A = this chain, B = another copy of it.
Amino acid sequence: MSSPGRVAIFGPGLIGGSIALALRARHPETKISIWGRRPDQLAGILKRGIADAVEADPVDAVRNADLVILCTPVGAMKELAAAIAPHLAPGAVVTDAGSVKVSVVEQLTPILGKRFVGAHPMAGSERSGLSAARADLFTGAPCIVTPVPEGDAKAIATACDFWRQLGCTITMMAPLEHDRLVARISHLPHALAFALVNLVLDTLPPGSQNLAGGSFRDATRVAASDPALWTGILTENRTEVAASLREMAKLLKSMAGALGDEKSDSLLDFCTRAKHHRDSLPLPPPEETR
> Given the interface contacts A219-B193, A245-B252, A268-B228, does A260 sit within 8 Å of B238 by beta carbon?
yes
> Given the interface contacts A234-B267, A242-B256, does A211 sit within 8 Å of B248 by beta carbon?
no
Instruction: Look across to chain B and name the residue whose beta carbon is closest to the beta carbon of A237.
Output: B259
CA of A279 to CA of B217, assembled, Å: 11
CA of A200 to CA of B248, assembled, Å: 10
Q: Which residues of B contact A197 (CB under 8 A)?
A: 274, 277-278
The answer, yes or no, to whether A204 is at the interface (CB within 8 Å) is yes
The answer, yes or no, to whether A209 is at the interface (CB within 8 Å) is yes
CA of A272 to CA of B229, assembled, Å: 11
Instruction: Look across to chain B and name the residue whose beta carbon is closest to the beta carbon of A269.
Output: B227
Which residues 142-184 of A sit at the B interface, judged by CB distance below 8 A?
A: 142, 144, 171, 181, 184
In the assembled complex, the CB of A245 is this many whole angstroms from the nearest CB of chain B, namely: 4
The answer, yes or no, to whether A195 is at the interface (CB within 8 Å) is yes
Q: Is the interface of A mostly helix, strand, loop or mixed?
A: helix
A251 touches B195 (CB 8 A): yes
User: Taking the full assembly, how many copies of this chain does it contain?
Assistant: 2
Interface centre among A190, A234, A275 (most CB of B within 10 A): A275
B246 touches A252 (CB 8 A): yes
In the assembled complex, the CB of A242 is this many whole angstroms from the nearest CB of chain B, namely: 4
Q: Report how many residues on chain A are interfacial, defined by Cβ distance under 8 Å.
A: 94
Which residues 207-244 of A sit at the B interface, judged by CB distance below 8 A?
A: 208-228, 230-231, 234-235, 238, 241-244
Among B203, B238, B241, B277, contact of A262 (Cβ-Cβ < 8 Å)? B238
The answer, yes or no, to whether A288 is at the interface (CB within 8 Å) is yes
A212 touches B185 (CB 8 A): yes
The answer, yes or no, to whether A188 is at the interface (CB within 8 Å) is yes
Among B199, B208, B212, B259, contact of A251 (Cβ-Cβ < 8 Å)? B199
Q: Which residues of B contact A195 (CB under 8 A)?
A: 248, 251-252, 255, 274
A200 touches B223 (CB 8 A): no
A264 touches B235 (CB 8 A): yes
Q: Which residues of B contact A192 (CB under 8 A)?
A: 192, 196, 219, 252
Instruction: Look across to chain B and name the residue whose beta carbon is closest to the beta carbon of A200.
Output: B184
A190 touches B209 (CB 8 A): no
CA of A163 to CA of B194, assembled, Å: 33
In the assembled complex, the CB of A122 is this many whole angstroms from the nearest CB of chain B, namely: 5
CA of A255 to CA of B223, assembled, Å: 15
The answer, yes or no, to whether A110 is at the interface (CB within 8 Å) is no
8 example contacts (A-B, Cβ-Cβ < 8 A) are as follows A124-B214, A185-B216, A189-B216, A193-B278, A195-B251, A214-B222, A243-B256, A245-B259
**A contacts, CB < 8 Å to B:** 122-125, 141-142, 144, 171, 181, 184-186, 188-205, 208-228, 230-231, 234-235, 238, 241-253, 255-257, 259-260, 262, 264, 267-268, 270-275, 277-282, 284, 288-290
